[in-house]
Amino acid sequence: MARHNELGKLGEALAQQFLSDKGYNVIHTNWRFDKDEIDIIAMDGDVLVIVEVKTRSTDAFGHPEDAINHNKEKFLIRATETYLEENQLDIDSRFDIISIIHNDRETKIDHIIDAFYPE
């Protein structure tokens, strides 16, 4: 597996543990719809939380969350709509980002709640 893929998998595992430690109930990881993927689907109380995880070894080229552009947001919104329909859910939901810098010197996790909203 390529080094960036390994870092991404590690970041997702760190994010899951981070959310669990905060009391979230992780329901699914890497849920797929067509070519779209939701990294983590969790419950925060009675709110469904769709989490995109971005992990980098450094922020030299910008913060990890900066990699989430408008197109990625549209894919996540579309996948979430499908998830809600397939599971016949009518509950509040939100989109969070977990941004991780991980290298030999540090692991820094930022949780951005309500990172973006559907248009």
Share of the chain above pLDDT 70, in %: 97
21-61 pLDDT, tens per residue? 999 999 999 999 888 899 999 999 999 999 999 999 988 88
DSSP helix/strand/coil, 108: strand
What would you report as the CA-atom Rg of the chain, rounded to the nearest whole angstrom?
14
- pLDDT tier, 114 (very low <50, low <70, confident <90, very high otherwise): very high
Choose which CATH entry (2.60.40.3140, 1.10.287.370, 3.40.50.620, 3.40.1350.10) describes domain 3-116.
3.40.1350.10
- How high is the pLDDT of residue 1? 59
DSSP 25-77: EEEEEEEEETTEEEEEEEEETTEEEEEEEEEES-STT--GGGG--HHHHHHHH
Is the pLDDT reported for residue 82 higher than 80? Answer: yes
Mean pLDDT, residues 3-14 = 85
Q: Can you give the residue ranges of every domain in the chain?
A: 3-116
Spatial distance between the Cα atoms of 64 and 62, rounded to a whole number of angstroms: 6
How far apart CA 44 and CA 78 sit, in angstroms, is: 21
Q: What is the pLDDT of residue 2?
A: 62
Q: How many residues are present in the chain?
A: 119
